[in-house]
Chain A
Amino acid sequence: MKSNTPLLEVKNLDVRFAVRGGDLTALRGISFSLDKGERLGLVGESGAGKSVAAFSILNLIARPGYIAGGQILFEGKDLAAMSERELRKIRGNRIAMIFQDPMMTLNPVLSIGTQMVEAIKAHRRVSTKAAREIALSKLRKVQIPSPEKRLDQYPHELSGGMRQRVIIAIALLLDPEIIVADEPTTALDVTIQAEIMALLLDLCEQENVALILITHDLGVVSQVTQRMLVMYSGRIIEQGPTREIINDAQHPYTQGLINALPQMGEPGARLFQIPGSMPSLKNVPSGCPFNPRCDFATDQCRQVMPEYVRSGNVDVACYEVSNLIEQEKRMQEAGS
């Protein structure tokens, strides 16, 4: 671990949704940190809470959702406790966001240029002409052919891949420290996805921007990120260096997720499958939320949520893993 303070530090974040019949806990005890220029992947299936986590980083959780506890420290300041006015100075400016569906993000009745200029002028006092120049330079950066023409075009005139490039250009407009990308390529074809991911990776490296990438695609995570978090039912169950987790996952859920990929099985053979599906937030099982689907579940797992243990450079919340580590320790002690 580096000694200097991280760029972003999330500590023990709880997010709840107030609904009829009591609160639903969408995120429970989320803690992670992000260094400058670091690329972090957030992995999980739908309902795991990855998008809620992304939105709460920018304190964008709308009612009935609310942050029930914990801190989101960006350069030492707590975003969870900030006023809307202060937040507005950070959102889009220091922390930018890229959403899943490029058609929903762009305003269909404004030209690309107008939308880009608007974003710049919201944060900086520059002339429209200067703002257009900045916009143009960012469009060049995302390798859009004939960028001058694009400024006067409307979103519907662009293809899906092109729109996502525009969105990335908008995210880069104010040279942010962090880009939060929520499933940026899910709506796109494979070849376009590969191009957009490569572009995002190159830009983050060139400009030294930190990236939080939310995705369900483990292949993309392994290609783009340095560290990853695996989420299940509102909790982080495993986090550590991406390569280490992909090559040697510790948590039974992560293992299952990787082994269920068709590319892991022999062609034509039965795929590994995790039985059942993720519990809904209304009835999360007690103890470890994964226990009803887990082959290793014991009574302990059904009663108390496991604490994180460290295995290599990876933090895992699983009794099976912690028991194995204990066992190894004892063996070593006995041996010496």
Chain B
Amino acid sequence: MTSPLVDIRGLEKRFDLSGSFLEQITFKGGRFQRKQEAVHAINGVDLQVQKGEALCVVGESGCGKSTVARTVMGLLSPSAGEVHYGGQRIDNLKGGDVLPYRRKMQMIFQNPYASLNPRMTIQQTLEEPIHFHRPELARSEVREKVQEVMQSVGIDPDWGSRFGHEFSGGQRQRIAIARALAVDPEFIVADEPISALDVSIQAQVLNLLMEAQETRNLTYLFITHDLAVVEHFGTRVAVMYLGRVCELAETKTLFSEPRHPYTQALLSAIPRLEDDRPNYIRLQGEVPTPVNLPSGCVFHGRCPYANERCRQEIPRLIVTDGGSQVACHAVEEGRL
């Protein structure tokens, strides 16, 4: 395999909950105690994004998928681990050194009602990143570029003088996509780009993203909770649970032969048109809080196949016969 475009190595991210030093101190039973708490959002994630693919990260709320997206983009700094882009480590870059990478990596956010500045016209919104990243361009060239991206996402270039609120949700998301495309990026991180949209509009935006991938040779890191979209869109899929990747496979393999018990439960929960009744694998309990992570496999409390080893030892991703990578002792031991 060629070297990956984006390489995420041993990524960890903790969010401190305990506040300032003084807030951590409690007086109990005649002595002072210091208590520190943190949300363990990502706990050791390794992912490689190959050039030209769409790597989808799926999972339920709180599994850390958006944190992965933000850490890769440099919006959050990792607590541990590294992010490499095209062979160069980027998570520790400072100041102006990041800029060339910012241009190559762009992000599309979930909510197009929040991600467009309400006080800027569409023209201004789209010009800003070009001015910033390519100051050498003349005004007329910038304007041309804006026209070109607006056309390519299906927004009439004559609408440039309008404001965000004059557009529908689907059109706003098109504009957000245009803003990401305006600086000719190679790599796009899309964090739930269609979940705020209606079904018929979702199809339009998905088609647009696929077209852009083809014509501009883009690579995607696509974050979503919607498995039906993944099945359609993704080249490979990483399933996350409580800050860890539990299964990573080619889309086809994952949907035809899910190996991890959590993946199996997740797939069975998609409401399918063919079904006459909800037909799904029941999991016990609920997702534990990421403040106090369970020992061993993070899924063991809800897993029907868990044994003593699962409660103690953290499973690593291993390659199975089908070609997928699974982090599960039961699969490794052949119990499943």
Contact = CB atoms under 8 A, between A and B. Distances in A.
Do A and B form a real pair? yes
Interface of A: 45-46, 159, 161-162, 189-195, 197-198, 201, 216-220, 222-224, 243, 246, 256-258, 260-265, 267-268, 270-275, 277-278
B233 to A, nearest CB: 7
- By secondary structure, the A interface counts as helix
Contact of B204 (A191, A273, A278): A273
Contacts of A222: 271-276
Contacts of A219: 270-273, 275
Given A223-B277, A265-B232, A270-B210, A193 B269 contact: yes
Given A191-B266, A273-B207, A267 B231 contact: yes
Of A45, A193, A194, A260, the most chain B CB neighbours within 10 A belong to A194
20 contacts: A46-B198, A159-B286, A161-B286, A197-B271, A201-B277, A201-B278, A218-B273, A222-B274, A222-B276, A224-B278, A246-B273, A261-B228, A262-B202, A262-B206, A262-B229, A262-B232, A271-B207, A273-B204, A277-B198, A277-B201
B88 interface: no
A254 to B, nearest CB: 11
A216 B270 CA distance: 14
A161 B61 CA distance: 12
B251 interface: yes
B251 A257 contact: no
Interface of B: 60-61, 168, 170-171, 198-204, 206-207, 210, 225-229, 231-233, 251-252, 265-266, 268-280, 282-283, 286
B269 A191 contact: yes
A267 B276 contact: no
A283 to B, nearest CB: 13
Nearest to B286: A159
A194 B203 contact: no
Contact of B266 (A190, A223, A267): A190
Contact of B273 (A194, A195, A261): A261
A275 B168 CA distance: 13
B333 to A, nearest CB: 25
B61 A263 contact: no
Contacts of A265: 232
A197 B203 contact: no
A233 B286 CA distance: 39
Nearest to B278: A198
A192 B279 CA distance: 13
Given A195-B282, A216-B198, A262 B210 contact: no
A263 B272 contact: yes
A277 B273 contact: no
B151 to A, nearest CB: 16
B238 to A, nearest CB: 16
A260 B286 contact: no
Contacts of A189: 60-61, 225
A194 B232 contact: no
Given A223-B275, A265-B232, A190 B227 contact: yes
B233 A257 contact: no
Contacts of A267: 231-233, 251-252
Nearest to A160: B61
A273 B200 contact: yes
A209 to B, nearest CB: 17
Contacts of B206: 262, 271
Given A246-B273, A271-B207, A45 B231 contact: no
B60 A191 contact: yes
A263 B273 contact: yes
Contacts of A277: 168, 170-171, 198, 200-201
